[in-house]
Amino acid sequence: MKEKLTNNLGLKFLSIALAIIGWFMVVDVVNPLVESTVEVPVEMINEEILTKADLTYEVVGKKTVAVTYQVRSRDRHRIKSSDFYASADLADLYDVTGSIPVNVEISNREIRAMIEGTPETKPGVVRIQTEELQKKKFDIIPHISGEVEEGYAAGSVQVRPEQVYVTGPVSVVGQISSVGIEIDLSGAGGDVSGGAKIVLYDANGNQQPDLMDEVSLSRAEAEYKVSVLKVKTLGLDFQVSGDVAHGYRFTGVDSDIRSIPVEGLKSVLASLSTLVIPADLLNIEGATGDVIVEVDLAKLLPENISITKDAPSTATITLRVEALVQRTLTFDTDALELEGAQEEFEYAFETDKASVRIQGLAEDLDSIGPDAIKGRVDVSGLDEGTVMVEIQTDLPEGFERVSSDRILLSVTRKGSQGPDGEEGAEDESETVEEGEE
């Protein structure tokens, strides 16, 4: 028996094939009714009914229905989903459940004749969820990207229109933080203009392309024009006016900004090299300490010239004023220079030390010593005798003499002797020049 079952496999396969062919022949002759199902998308109609009520909707669940129908087996392959038209009329909305009956029609007359009976629809309704419709106005904000040509900078941006209306479900519009356009200025060396699609952004500045399908815009694009201007760096020129109080000195200008980048027409910038801070803004009259001034640099620029974006426009300027300090320096009288000395006379100071009081900044005074002082005495026109002379000084720049010692100077003629036999001694008592103290 086992051998009979395993032998003649070819005949067995042939019998199976003949049986199948025979079955198809019987079916083709009999042509029985069979049941078939297709998925048909549902079209929502009369949407304006909800729009007039300031409502919008969203289909809950599937947006298709299964249409089941009966057809002869030989015609089954000829029927497709597109032969049916399914619709749901929003005028038939049942508010309690949010359901709308689905109506199915056979759009192809030839196919309609092939289908037996009335097609069945499962489910027979579609369900929607309504939501309030919101219309909100947004400013169209330009978003600049790309680097312009070196030596230039993006200037003002004009967008037309400046605003756009966004209409959609409240929950969707609430996700929109701003509306704008993207403008690429890569390599631009002159004004740029064109059109760009309007884009939606969230609170973090990220684009939200998925929301575009859920809202409608009053327009899809906006026109723009960007001015690309020449850039130049101007150094600040500080014009200081006024005199500080007695006993003080103006020592210089400090500023948190020493230069500023500006943009404008190339022809206008060509004549500018510095930005002058006028004297009436930097006045130190009677000052006894630092004077701090806040200056709005933008107000000092010529017309059609402006400070580049992100550059500071306000300078904090400090006019340094320091008190002068006095100090007494002592030096040897031997080092004094005699101006106008005559060869027939000899000169001798009656003290070997002299002092001078000078005035200057404390820091400068700390760096100066007696060796830096050049003292001198004018002896021109003096005759024999003892006179009171005042020391003159040549001081380095930044210092001034407040006072100096008056010392006695003996003037004797060479070879003369006094009563005691000493040279240079006069017969009578020393004569002191008028004005001796």
pLDDT at 371: 72
Which pLDDT value is given to residue 1? Answer: 55
Q: What are the b/e assignments for 28-44, b being 16+ CB within 10 Å? A: eeeeeeeebebebebeb
The C-alpha atoms of residue 207 and residue 196 are separated, in whole angstroms, by 14
| 267 shares its domain with 206 | no
Same domain, 245 and 335: no
Kindly state the greatest CA–CA separation across the chain: 179
pLDDT at residue 5 greater than cutoff 70: no
Task: Please give the Cα distance from 65 to 137 (Å, whole number).
Answer: 38
Residues 6+ apart with CB under 8 A from 391: 336, 354, 356, 375, 376, 377, 404, 405, 406, 407
- Co-location of 35 and 111 in the same domain: yes
Residue 150 and residue 78 share a domain: no
Tokens representing residue 435 in the block: 């004005």
Whether 436 maps to a domain, the answer reads no
Model confidence at 13, pLDDT cuts 50, 70, 90, reads low
| Residue 423 confidence class, pLDDT cut points 50, 70, 90 | very low
As a whole number, mean pLDDT of residues 69-79 equals 89
pTM above 0.75, yes or no: no
300-356 pLDDT tens trace: 998 888 898 888 999 999 999 999 999 888 888 888 889 999 989 999 999 988 888
Q: Which residues does 139 contact at the CB level (< 8 Å), separation at least 6? A: 162, 163, 178, 179
Q: Are 180 and 246 in the same domain?
A: no
SS3 191: coil
Query: What tens digit of pLDDT does each residue of 377-400 get?
Result: 999 988 899 999 988 887 878 888
- Rounded Cα–Cα distance for residues 322 and 361 (Å): 7
Beta strand 125-145 pairing with 163-169: antiparallel
| CB contact at 8 A, 35 and 119 | no
Whether 418 has a pLDDT exceeding 80, the answer reads no
Do 137 and 100 share a structural domain? Answer: no
| 104 in the same domain as 136 | no
The answer on 291 and 371 residing in a single domain is no
Residue 355 within any structural domain of the chain: yes
- In angstroms, rounded to a whole number, what is the distance separating the alpha carbons of residues 312 and 259? 10
pLDDT band at residue 240, thresholds of 50, 70 and 90? very high
- Is residue 332 within 8 A of residue 405, CB to CB? The reply is no
**Residues 104-136 pLDDT 10s:** 999 888 888 888 888 999 999 999 998 999 999
State whether 224 and 140 are in the same domain.
yes
pLDDT (mean) for 178-201: 94
User: Checking DSSP bridges between strand 125-145 and strand 178-184, what pairing results, if any?
Assistant: parallel
Question: 224-246 in b/e burial notation, b at 16+ Cβ within 10 A?
Answer: bebbbbbbbebebebebeeebee
**Chain Cα centroid distance, residue 25:** 82
367 belongs to a structural domain: yes
Number of C-beta neighbours around residue 196 at 10 A: 18
Among 123, 158, 179, which residue terminates a domain?
A: 123
Look up the domain containing 398 and give its range.
Answer: 325-413
Q: Are residues 65 and 40 in the same domain?
A: yes
- Which region holds residue 205: left if phi is over 0, alpha if psi is between -120 and 50, else beta? left
Quote the pLDDT of residue 145.
93
Residues 177, 267 within the same domain: no
Beta carbons of 231 and 265 less than 8 angstroms apart: no
Q: Is residue 430 part of a domain?
A: no
In a domain, 177, yes or no: yes
| 427 inside domain | no
Tell me, rounded to whole angstroms, the distance of Cα 88 from its chain centroid: 53
Region of poorest pLDDT, from 239-243, 310-314, 372-376:
372-376
- Segment 159-177 mean pLDDT: 95
CA separation for the pair 67, 58 (Å, rounded)? 22
40 with 106, same domain? yes
Residue 300 lies in a domain: yes
Quickly list DSSP for 391-406. -EEEPPTT-EEEEE-E
Predicted local distance difference test score (pLDDT) of residue 253: 96
Does the residue 387 lie in any domain? yes
Q: In this predicted structure, what is the pLDDT of residue 303?
A: 85
Domain end marker among 123, 153, 172? 123
Domain boundary among 181, 202, 230: 230
> Quick one: average pLDDT of 9-30?
62
80 pLDDT higher than 80 = yes
In b/e form, how buried is each residue of 339-377, taking b as 16+ CB within 10 angstroms? eeebeebbbebeeeebebebbbbeebbeebeeeebebeb
What per-residue confidence (pLDDT) applies to 426? 43
Alpha-helical (H) ranges within 331-400 are: 362-365
Report how many domains make up the chain: 5
